[in-house]
Each structure stands twice: as C-alpha cells, then as structure tokens.
C-alpha cells in the first residue's frame, strides 16, 4: 500500500512532469528511442545496389542465390524500468540542504520515463529489486498500466534489504522477448557481480543507466578507522575512512558502467531529476 506521503509525491509528479515530458517528447525522447531500432521482416533476393552487409549467408548458401535480410523500422518502443529498492537507496538528505533521498529521486526518474512512454503510446514495464527480484510488471500499453508502473515505483519496502542488481539484469534478459530500451535506476553500490549480466543484456537491448547518489556518500572525513552501519543489512563494519572515497566514488562507479558501453548519467539527490533527464537524452546519453 502507498503511504499518504507517497500519494502526495505522485500527485506532485503529475503536475511537475507534464510540461517537462512534453518538451522531452518534442525531441530528445523520440530521437533517442523511436525509430532508432529495426525489426527483421523478411528475406528477399539480392538486387544490385543493395547493402551487402545485409546478405543472409545461411539462406544464400542453401539456395545458391544471394538473399538479403529486410528490416522495418520499429513503430513502437518497449521500455523496461529496472528500479533499485535496496536499503542503500534510503540514504539521503530528507529535505535538508535541498536534498531528497535516493529512493525518491529514483522514483521521480522512473515516473517521468513511464509518463513519457504513456504520452508516446509506447509499452512500459517495471522490474524492482533489492537482494533479489521484488516485482515484475510486464510492459504493456495503456494509461491505467502506466500509472500502475508509476505507483509501484514509488512504493516503499517495509524492511531493509541487500543489493543484487545482477539478479534483476538476468531476469530482464529472460523476460524481454523483443528488442527493448532498458533503463537502470540504481546507486550501483554493492558487489560488482552485475558486470557480466549487463554485458549480455547489451547484446540485444539499448541500455541507459541513471546512477543516483548523495553528496555525503563521498564526504566522509579522513578519520582513519571508523565503525559504520550497513544500511542494507544493519551490520557494523570497521572501514578505513581515508580510503572510503576511492572505494565508493561516483566517478569510479560511473566509469565502470560506461566502460561496458552503457549510456550512463550520475544524478545527485540535490539535482532536479527532470533537468538531468533532459541533459542525458540531449547529449545522446
């Protein structure tokens, strides 16, 4: 069940996102997604002037005649939002110094993307995860379905859980039957076991990532050995604060994701989520 505060947040999103998404749909969204993918339609005999890169060598070998693959432009987009709901995304300012928490920033980004899909008549689905897959809402195309996705993105888990992004990416690979746009919304904290599943997902799908972070995560003072509590498990750990920044820096995590070929943008809890969304697509991701 959504809390009263979460319902108010969704109401504010409806007002805030309308004008922002209209502008997004006017250019960035369509240029990034719509018409940028091709679906296989048929094979036909090769004609002089055809692109030889589209020759179907298997059919050509069987028939003894050159055949090429014919593709048609995708008319609709299938979008899957992968939303992190682990314990670590509860970290944030709670309204202090203009900051929100990471969970709410992630929900705003997910809501804006779902609303853009709705306005563009595209299919949108949702996959939430913590230490495993929490919820999967298959991509569909309707106003009621899009708002179901938005409400689910804003729901809060009752308990803290760990992070298993790898499980979410693997599940997405299994359930997505057609080429899709996959939007990963996470802080990318925790084990880097997601690298190989993400690499596999990229073979077939277009992947964008929004790495949500809080400035205080990189602001631990150089105090030497200190005891900290894991937001996901509640366990106490002794860490070297002098080396904390190198281990958790946004720049390092962003580089790890981009190195795989993912279009990734860092979003702070101080940022305007909609401004960052526009900037991401305006720059080509």
Shared domain for 50 and 190, answered yes or no, is no
Residues 60 and 170 reside in one and the same domain: no
Q: What pLDDT sits at residue 178?
A: 86
Q: Are 58 and 124 in a shared domain?
A: no
Query: What is the model's pLDDT at position 54?
Result: 84
Task: Calculate the CA 104 to chain-centre distance.
Answer: 15
Write down which residue in 17, 48, 73 finishes a domain. 73
What is residue 160's predicted lDDT score, i.e. its pLDDT? 63
Which residues span the domain enclosing 93? 4-33+75-282
Q: Are residues 151 and 217 in the same domain?
A: yes
182 plus 49 within the same structural domain: no
Residue 115 has a pLDDT of 85
Split the chain (285 residues) into runs of 10 and give each run's mean pLDDT. Answer: 54 55 60 59 82 88 90 74 90 60 90 86 93 94 90 72 92 93 93 93 94 78 53 49 56 92 94 86 72
| pLDDT score for 254 | 92
Domain with 113 in it: what CATH number? Answer: 3.40.50.410
Same domain, 47 and 154: no
> Both 66 and 80 in a single domain?
no
DSSP letters of 249-272? Answer: -HHHHHHHHHTTT-EEEEEETTS-
Q: Which pLDDT value is given to residue 98? A: 53
Domain end, chosen from 73, 97, 122, is at 73
Res 1: pLDDT:
47
pTM, whole model, 2 decimals?
Answer: 0.74
SS3 54: helix
Asked whether residue 52 falls in the same domain as residue 121, the answer is no
Instruction: Confirm if 256 and 192 have CB atoms less than 8 A apart.
Output: yes
Overall domain count for the chain = 2
């Amino acid at each position: 069940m959504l809390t009263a505060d979460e319902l108010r947040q969704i109401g504010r999103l409806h007002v805030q996102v309308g004008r922002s998404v209209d502008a997004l749909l006017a250019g960035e969204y369509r240029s990034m997604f719509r018409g940028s993918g091709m679906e296989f339609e048929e094979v036909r005999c090769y004609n002089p002037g055809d692109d030889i890169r589209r020759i179907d060598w298997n059919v050509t070998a069987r028939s003894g005649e050159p055949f090429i693959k014919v593709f048609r432009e995708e008319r609709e987009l299938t979008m899957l939002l992968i939303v992190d709901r682990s314990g670590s995304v509860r970290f944030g300012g709670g309204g202090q110094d203009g900051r929100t928490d990471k969970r709410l920033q992630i929900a705003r980004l997910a809501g804006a993307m779902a609303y853009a899909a709705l306005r563009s008549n595209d299919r949108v689905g949702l996959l939430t995860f913590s230490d495993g897959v929490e919820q999967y809402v298959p991509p569909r195309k309707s106003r009621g379905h899009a708002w179901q996705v938005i409400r689910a993105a804003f729901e809060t888990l009752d308990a803290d859980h760990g992070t298993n992004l790898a499980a979410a990416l693997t599940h997405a690979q299994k359930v997505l039957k057609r080429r899709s746009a996959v939007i990963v919304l996470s802080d990318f904290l925790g084990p880097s076991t997601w690298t190989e599943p993400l690499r596999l997902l990229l073979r077939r799908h277009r992947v964008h990532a929004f790495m949500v972070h809080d400035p205080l995560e990189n602001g631990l003072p150089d105090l030497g050995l200190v005891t900290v509590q894991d937001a996901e498990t509640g366990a106490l750990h002794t860490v070297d604060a002098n080396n904390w920044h190198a281990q958790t820096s946004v720049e390092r995590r962003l580089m790890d994701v981009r190195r795989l070929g993912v279009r990734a943008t860092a979003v702070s809890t101080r940022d305007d989520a909609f401004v960052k969304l526009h900037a991401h697509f305006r720059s080509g991701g």
